Structure 1
Amino acid sequence: MSGTSSNTHADQRTRLTVLVALAANLVIAAAKAVGGLLAGSPALLSEAAHSVADSLNEVFLLAALRRSRRPADRRHPFGYGKERFFWSLLAAVGIFVMGGCFSFFQGVEALRAGAEEKLSGYVAGLIVLGVAFLAEGASLLRALHQVRGQGGTARLRDPALRTVVAEDGTAVLGVTLAAAGMVLHMVTGDVVWEASASLAIGALLVYVAYRLGREARDQLIGEAADPETSDRIRELLATQPEIDSVEAVFTMKMGLDTVLVAGRVDLVPGMDSERVEEVAVRIKRAVAHAIPEAGEIFIDVTDRLAREARESPAATGERGGA
């Protein structure tokens, strides 16, 4: 019960972090878009697309937080924990399409057609970027504060929080690149600097989208639990006096804090069926007690001597001859 309460409290803090990032990105996106259109700045318009993509992604993450905590039902007996990974994958796609691709387009278009800006346009654009830097920085500090408060970098296994940190960190770096491109364009009069800033922002967004998307993909298709968790389960099974050998241990993440555990073990010979059932129940309870995140536990127990007899060449030949 305490674990459920702790998870709920962590989700509430993550939801607040996402809402802070959403509010910041909505305001910043509007300011960047207006400033970019008035200044005719490709770098600033690229940053506007970046903020729009981040805003949409925050909506995805809010949906992930709400839907992933739904209880199991007949259609989804293992629960909805993997929805967190699905919505994070959509967020990665959003960063790639809306942010990265548009930034590349703006950079190429600026190199092809050029861009003329007035001093007032430069000033307005740099003011917008300065405000954006402060807002994005505040949002990033909020996210990093939550990471430290919830166990440091280990908490970044939460795809919602990981995405916010990646987005805000990328946004701060993107604003810096855009400002540098505008200043160099203003000083040299050569649009290649600002176009290069747009291309660099695009490359940065594509890289971040790839990393976030790859992690979400691994979790969606059935990523195993941390090696430490798997090793603890194997060691626990090996120490049980009724277990002769641990043949295999399989784990799969079913959500942020839920793991499916399946093990195949050989029992010491000579147990009757009633005793085997009692041992299986006790082993499952021991695993559940030692590994709180083990939501579902399946143990396949066999008698080693009986299994070897079934698998012996003589037995195989008899079955084949029959």
Structure 2
Amino acid sequence: MTETQTQTTSADRRTRVTVLVALAANLVIAAAKAVGGLLTGSPALLSEAAHSVADSLNEVFLLAALRRSRRPADSRHPFGYGKERFFWSLLAAVGIFVMGGCFSVLQGFEALGQDGGETHAGYTAGIVVLVVALLAEGTSLLRALHQVRGQGGLAEGARDPALRTVVAEDGTAVVGVTLAIAGMVLHMVTGRIVWEASASFGIGGLLMYVAYRLGRDAREQLIGRAADPELSRRVRSLLEAQPEIDSVESLLTMELGPDSALVAARVDLVPGLDSEEVEVVAVRIKGSISRVVPEAEQVFLDVTDARLARSAAGAGGRPAPDRADAGGPAATGERGGA
């Protein structure tokens, strides 16, 4: 196992613990909010119960993503299963939108038609439940943020869709519980249920926005988003530094998972290299990319003789006979460690 694979496995293990912590917290909180909401009839508390149920289901999705994405590549999926995380994260976003956001908005509309006859004691109990929930959600959020810092900060941690979803869920939960507490307190003080209805609308709108952002990111990753620009910059710099490369004509990247990417480059070599030298150079360049950019798990090189490329460009043609293309001796499309 390489150092990069060891680091990835360790990060996955920490992410799994973070998701389990969030799941345990949400299950306990969902039960407490549901009981409190049914006893008090509080729409804000019921909205928060739906929020916690949605979060719990999403944590199950994320655990499935972590397990399934670790499967090795096979004949049906030669690039591996890293994109499983993106798929399950998309399902989690849909769950947040439907189970959390839509239900909360519905609770807000229903609250506007209520007469607001709740007792002071019942609302006090409801607020106590929410305060406990706030402490639990805050603890889970701190755990997730601690892991994000351990993985290089927010920018690096956001590359893992499971960790990104947990941070978004817990952050939204803290804000949502705060809104619910404010709505219940204002309802108690003024006797107007419109405050709780407003809190439900606010929670619903917040959940829908977070679900949209998470879903948009997962969609971009599923359809083939380019890898981090810094990765492209490092690969291009390495290629341009090779004495055998005359120019880098194109460089394409795609995320295969949180810590893996596909790299495809078309380069023009200096004139005078025979086919055997081209193959040796290509293998050496691939090895250099794997060492310098370990995230480049799949590397493909398409090499062309620079002199012939210029001649073909001037004639409006394509140097097919002398170009090392996908089927030629210098075509290099295998895992970056080769």
| Pairwise TM-score range, normalised by the shorter structure | over 0.9
1:138 shift after superposition: 1.1
Task: Summarize the Cα distance change of 1:114–1:207 in structure 2 as closer, same or farther, 3 Å threshold.
Answer: farther
Partner of 2:47: 46
Asked if the contact 1:40/1:116 (under 8 Å) is kept, the reply is no
Task: Summarize the Cα distance change of 1:128–1:281 in structure 2 as closer, same or farther, 3 Å threshold.
Answer: same
Residue 229 of structure 2 corresponds to residue 238 of structure 1: no
Q: Tell me, in whole angstroms, the C-alpha distance in 2 between the residues paired with 1:135 and 1:21.
A: 9
What are the ranges of 5 or more consecutive residues in structure 1 without an aligned counterpart? Answer: 317-322
Asked if the contact 1:85/1:219 (under 8 Å) is kept, the reply is yes
Question: How do 1:14-33 and structure 2 match up within 5 A?
Answer: 14-33=15-34
Q: 1:207 aligns with which of 206, 209, 212?
A: 209
Question: How do 1:91-170 and structure 2 match up within 5 A?
Answer: 91-153=92-154, 154-170=156-172
Asked if the contact 2:116/2:191 (under 8 Å) is kept, the reply is no
Q: Tell me, in whole angstroms, the C-alpha distance in 1 between the residues paired with 2:152 and 2:274.
A: 46
Partner of 2:63: 62
Partner of 1:225: 227
Taking structure 2 as the reference length, what is the TM-score of the superposition? 0.91
Q: 2:291 aligns with which of 277, 289, 292?
A: 289
Asked if the contact 1:248/1:264 (under 8 Å) is kept, the reply is yes
Q: Tell me, in whole angstroms, the C-alpha distance in 2 between the residues paired with 1:24 and 1:211.
A: 23
Partner of 1:319: none
Partner of 1:186: 188
1:311 shift after superposition: 3.7
Q: Tell me, in whole angstroms, the C-alpha distance in 2 between the residues paired with 1:139 and 1:180.
A: 22
Residue 183 of structure 2 corresponds to residue 174 of structure 1: no
1:291 shift after superposition: 0.6
Partner of 2:76: 75
Q: Tell me, in whole angstroms, the C-alpha distance in 1 between the residues paired with 2:167 and 2:134.
A: 15
Question: How do 1:254-265 and structure 2 match up within 5 A?
Answer: 254-265=256-267
1:315 shift after superposition: 5.8
Alpha-carbon RMSD across the aligned residues, in angstroms, is 1.3
1:256 shift after superposition: 1.1
Residue 284 of structure 2 corresponds to residue 279 of structure 1: no
What SS does the aligned partner of 1:244 have?
A: strand
What SS does the aligned partner of 2:225 have?
A: coil
Residue 261 of structure 2 corresponds to residue 266 of structure 1: no
Q: Tell me, in whole angstroms, the C-alpha distance in 2 between the residues paired with 1:151 and 1:304.
A: 40
Deviations 1:18-53 (A, max 9, x none): 111101100110111111011010000000000000
Partner of 1:320: none
Aligned residue identity for 1:105: L
In terms of fraction of residues, the more helix-rich structure is 1
1:309 shift after superposition: 2.8
What SS does the aligned partner of 1:254 have?
A: strand
Q: Tell me, in whole angstroms, the C-alpha distance in 1 between the residues paired with 2:278 and 2:119.
A: 83
Q: Tell me, in whole angstroms, the C-alpha distance in 2 between the residues paired with 1:93 and 1:81.
A: 20
Asked if the contact 2:51/2:96 (under 8 Å) is kept, the reply is yes
Q: Tell me, in whole angstroms, the C-alpha distance in 1 between the residues paired with 2:17 and 2:179.
A: 28
Aligned residue identity for 1:108: F
Partner of 2:332: none
Aligned residue identity for 2:135: L
Q: Tell me, in whole angstroms, the C-alpha distance in 2 between the residues paired with 1:113 and 1:171.
A: 25
